[in-house]
Amino acid sequence: GEEARLHRGLDMGVNDYIVRPVNTSELLARVRTQVKRKRYADFLRSRLEQTVEMAVLDPLTALHNRHYLNSHMKTLFEESADRGRALSVMLIDVDHFKSINDTYGHDAGDEVLRELALRLKRNIRGIDLACRLGGEEFVVVMPDTSIDSAYLVAERLRQCIAATPFFVGDQNGSIDVTASVGVAALEFAEDTPDLILKRADQALYCAKR
């Protein structure tokens, strides 16, 4: 009967119901209630998404953060090692960044980091993992990429950064920015994510000299 159908509807996820004959005032009141519930649910979902983003994204550049790198590089590393596939890492550091901050101010420095992140994303693939380590240092993990291919990507990125001045606001105009890049790859059976990052850091140190 009517009551059995009502129970089935509620079991299937119906939020509300109204019986005939329909009272217009009651109908409007129930519709308003459902609209409020929907708006509140959307608000909660939006807040949850923002919280998740804050946990894994760098707020300045919108790249992934160090926490995300630490939790996902191990997975990418293990997948590559298990399948015998190549994996390379690029470590990028803005040259003389302290001087940029001291000369043009921290707002200009932030603009440089944001623009560099955009240029970085334009020069890598969708499967590559780009993160801001902190300060002016960035890392890109590149699955299925040999060290020779990684060198080509690194040089293309370095030239992309140096070729076009960075606009840092009406007051300061544009400034020339360069970056150094260190590259390392999965090479040895005893390699770990930390060892590869350490080799990339050593390569970056050599590139800066």
pLDDT tens by residue, 34-83? 777 777 566 546 554 554 555 689 999 999 999 999 888 889 999 998 89
Structure tokens at 68: 């995300």
* 76 and 109 belong to one structural domain: yes
Q: Is residue 60 part of a domain?
A: no
pLDDT score, position 54 = 55
* Residue where a domain terminates, one of 30, 55, 80: 55
Q: Is 69 in contact with 75 (CB distance < 8 Å)?
A: no
Q: Is residue 109 part of a domain?
A: yes
* Residue where a domain terminates, one of 15, 35, 55: 55
The domain that contains 120 carries what CATH number?
A: 3.30.70.270
State the catalytic residue, choosing from 53, 136, 137, 187. 136
Distance CA 186, CA 88 (A): 6
Q: Is residue 80 part of a domain?
A: yes
pLDDT score, position 22 = 76
Distance CA 167, CA 40 (A): 41
Domain encompassing residue 147: 66-208
Does the annotation count 190 as an active-site position? no
* 120 and 151 belong to one structural domain: yes
* 96 and 182 belong to one structural domain: yes
Work out how many domains the chain is built from and give that number. Answer: 2
pLDDT tens by residue, 151-204? 999 999 999 999 999 998 877 789 999 999 999 999 988 889 999 999 999 999
User: How far are the Cα atoms of 14, 41, 130, 140, 164 from residue 119, in angstroms, in the given order?
Assistant: 49, 37, 11, 13, 10
* 93 and 148 belong to one structural domain: yes
pLDDT score, position 42 = 60
Q: Is residue 118 part of a domain?
A: yes
pLDDT tens by residue, 122-161? 999 999 999 999 899 999 999 999 999 999 999 999 999 9
pLDDT score, position 35 = 77
* 50 and 97 belong to one structural domain: no
* 119 and 169 belong to one structural domain: yes
pTM to 2 decimal places? 0.74
Residues β-bridged to residue 140: 90, 130
Burial class (CB in 10 A: 0-12, 13-18, 19+), 195: middle
* 144 and 192 belong to one structural domain: yes
Q: Is residue 61 part of a domain?
A: no
Distance CA 118, CA 95 (A): 17
* 84 and 178 belong to one structural domain: yes
* 11 and 97 belong to one structural domain: no
